[in-house]
Amino acid sequence: MKSLYVQIVLTFLGAIVISLLVTFLISGRIHAIQVADRIHDRMEKVGKEFVQLYKGTDDLDVDSYLDAMSSLSYDVLLYKTGEEQAVYEHPGSSWELSATEVQKVLDGGVVRNYHLPPRSVLGLPFEKGGEQFAFFIKPDFKFFFEDFRKVIIILFSTVLVLGSAIFLITTRWTIKPIKELTQLTQTVGKGNFNVSVSSKRNDELGDLTKSFNQMVHGLGELEQMRHQFVSNVSHEIQSPLTSIQGFAKAIKDDVITDDEERKEYLAIIEHESRRLSSLSQNLLKLASLDSDHPPFHPETYQMDEQLRRVVAALEPQWNAKGLNMNLDLESVVYYGDQDQMEQVWINLLTNAIRYSPADGTVSIVTHFVGDEVTVSIIDSGEGIPEEEQGRIFERFYKVDKARSRNAGGNGLGLSIAKKIVLLHRGYITVESQQGKGAVFRVTLPL
């Protein structure tokens, strides 16, 4: 019973049996109703013919005649005044007559108990030789109903056997992809994502197999991303740790005796420590944004003022490179998480400053389009190759890995920015040509 195949087959058989039984009962009922009137008319005619024949024929062999009638689809019963028992009753017949009904006919009344055949009864009175008689007649169509039942049973059996055989075959074809899906699901559960279900069906099971293949493909990509993520994190952590360990050991073992060189090594240790701290903070931030309920505390504030504050906070960085900061900001009243949006502007501006050449220019422009505001951050750096632009928002992805590492980047800033923008129901895009800088546009609904 745990097998879906068995459940479907039993459900089908149950449905067929119930349907045929109901059909049999309804069709029999309808057929009986349709023939009832004709049977009643026929009973009236046969009964009156017998009464006339019996009254008009003195030498009639009543028993033989009534036996003949009883053998021709009718049961008959004959009572006579003064007799407690019927003067004629066909052997094997059964009657449901009360003494009151018999007496009513003997007294000259007529009894018509018309029901669905074969329960209809007609009682007719007549007189002969000064004696009162009561003649009762009812249809005896047992053979008819028996034949009808036989035909129905044969049809019932044929439909059941033939339908079941066809259904058993077609159900196997239907259940086959489900069995295959079950086996492959167990395989996927063991960590093997290099599986797929081949199906040319266009029904719900076809949609299910397509969805399964897409799910497995997505799980495979997710597993690959997980391995890549672990590898990237390990690499990003191992690199500064190796530097810190190496320079710390050199200082500890008094390999470095010159004070200036010692200070240089300590500066490198400090720089690598900051890289580790930044990496851990970014990883925690991503984990928080990836959760089912990321932190989100919206409020209404002036976004243009926020951008000015971020630029002022990053002044040591852009001033050290002699960059020109151009701000073209319209008044923007925005409803969102102010701390998270500030993180977006810091990440994007930090990248713009980092990759712009000395004495270059970084511009921030805001403008409205309908019920949206777009913030464009434009740098004058080397630009991003077109083939790299689709991947820059991936975690740990770096266009120039050596340069990013030297500049202190860990490849998570753009991923965090995109996550936050999506959390605010916005989107972020990039336009760039090599040698002509890059433009990052953040579009947010107002």
425 in helix, strand or coil?
Answer: coil
Is residue 175 in some structural domain?
no
Is residue 258 in some structural domain?
no
Closest CA to 440 of 370, 311, 331, 353: 353
| Tens-digit pLDDT profile for residues 365-390 | 999 988 999 999 999 888 888 777 77
Residues found in the chain: 446
Residue 121, pLDDT above cutoff 50: yes
Is residue 408 in some structural domain?
yes
Pairing of the two strands 438-445 and 372-378: antiparallel
Mean pLDDT on 24-49: 73
Residue 137, pLDDT above cutoff 90: no
Q: What secondary structure does DSSP assign to 245-290, as a single string? A: HHHHHHHHTT----HHHHHHHHHHHHHHHHHHHHHHHHHHHHHHHH
Q: Point out the least confidently predicted range of 40-44, 291-295, 311-315, 323-327.
A: 291-295
Cis peptide, bond prior to residue 357, ω within 30 of zero = no
Residue 411, pLDDT above cutoff 60: yes
Q: What is the CATH number of the domain that holds 367?
A: 3.30.565.10
Rg, the chain, Cα only: 49
**Contact indicator for 338, 299 with CB cutoff of 8 Å:** yes
Is residue 227 in some structural domain?
no
> Would you state the pLDDT for residue 160?
73
For residue 367, the cross-strand partners are: 374
**Contact indicator for 323, 361 with CB cutoff of 8 Å:** yes
142 pLDDT tier (thresholds 50, 70, 90):
low
395 DSSP 8-state letter? T
Mean pLDDT on 101-117: 82
404 pLDDT tier (thresholds 50, 70, 90):
very low
Residue 169, pLDDT above cutoff 60: yes
Q: How far apart are CA 334 and CA 146, in angstroms?
A: 86
367 in helix, strand or coil?
Answer: strand
Question: Which tops the pLDDT comparison, 135 or 37?
Answer: 135
> Would you state the pLDDT for residue 80?
86
**Contact indicator for 205, 177 with CB cutoff of 8 Å:** yes
300 pLDDT tier (thresholds 50, 70, 90):
very high
Counting residues of the chain whose pLDDT is more than 70, the rounded percentage is 77
This prediction has a pTM of: 0.48
Question: Which tops the pLDDT comparison, 133 or 407?
Answer: 133
> Would you state the pLDDT for residue 308?
92
330 DSSP 8-state letter? -
**Contact indicator for 66, 76 with CB cutoff of 8 Å:** yes
Question: Which tops the pLDDT comparison, 130 or 125?
Answer: 125
Q: How far apart are CA 52 and CA 217, in angstroms?
A: 93
Closest CA to 415 of 425, 428, 426: 428
> Would you state the pLDDT for residue 405?
47
Amino acid present at 349? L
Is residue 174 in some structural domain?
no
Q: How far apart are CA 24 and CA 156, in angstroms?
A: 9
Is residue 87 in some structural domain?
yes
| Tens-digit pLDDT profile for residues 88-105 | 776 767 777 888 888 888
Total domains present in the chain? 2
Cβ burial of 137 (10 Å; 0-12, 13-18, 19+) is: buried
The two structure tokens encoding residue 428: 């972020």
Instruction: Point out the domain boundary residue: 98, 127, 145.
Output: 145
> Would you state the pLDDT for residue 440?
93
The two structure tokens encoding residue 27: 């069709």
Is residue 13 in some structural domain?
yes
> Would you state the pLDDT for residue 437?
87
Structural domain including 408 reads 295-445
> Would you state the pLDDT for residue 426?
92
Cβ burial of 307 (10 Å; 0-12, 13-18, 19+) is: buried
Angle ∠(410,412,416) on CA atoms, nearest 5: 155
157 pLDDT tier (thresholds 50, 70, 90):
confident
**Contact indicator for 333, 302 with CB cutoff of 8 Å:** yes
402 pLDDT tier (thresholds 50, 70, 90):
very low
> Would you state the pLDDT for residue 92?
67
Is residue 157 in some structural domain?
no
E strand residue ranges, 68-219: 74-80, 88-89, 111-113, 121-128, 131-139
Residue showing tokens 């991947």 = 391
> Would you state the pLDDT for residue 333?
93
Query: Which helix (H) or strand (E) segment is 62 a member of?
Result: helix 62-70
Q: What is the CATH number of the domain that holds 52?
A: 3.30.450
The two structure tokens encoding residue 139: 């249809």
345 pLDDT tier (thresholds 50, 70, 90):
very high
Phi-psi region of 359 (alpha: psi -120 to 50; beta: other; left: phi over 0): left
Instruction: Point out the domain boundary residue: 117, 145, 173.
Output: 145
11 pLDDT tier (thresholds 50, 70, 90):
confident
| Tens-digit pLDDT profile for residues 243-286 | 778 778 877 777 766 777 778 878 878 877 877 776 677 677 77
Residue 392, pLDDT above cutoff 70: yes
> Would you state the pLDDT for residue 390?
73
392 DSSP 8-state letter? T
Cα distances from 85 to residues 80, 81, 88, 111, 135, in angstroms, run 9, 10, 9, 18, 13
Residue 67, pLDDT above cutoff 80: no
Residue 339, pLDDT above cutoff 60: yes
357 DSSP 8-state letter? P
**Contact indicator for 344, 442 with CB cutoff of 8 Å:** yes
> Would you state the pLDDT for residue 374?
94
Residue 48, pLDDT above cutoff 60: yes
Instruction: Point out the domain boundary residue: 125, 145, 165.
Output: 145
> Would you state the pLDDT for residue 41?
78
Q: Point out the least confidently predicted range of 138-152, 183-197, 421-435.
A: 138-152
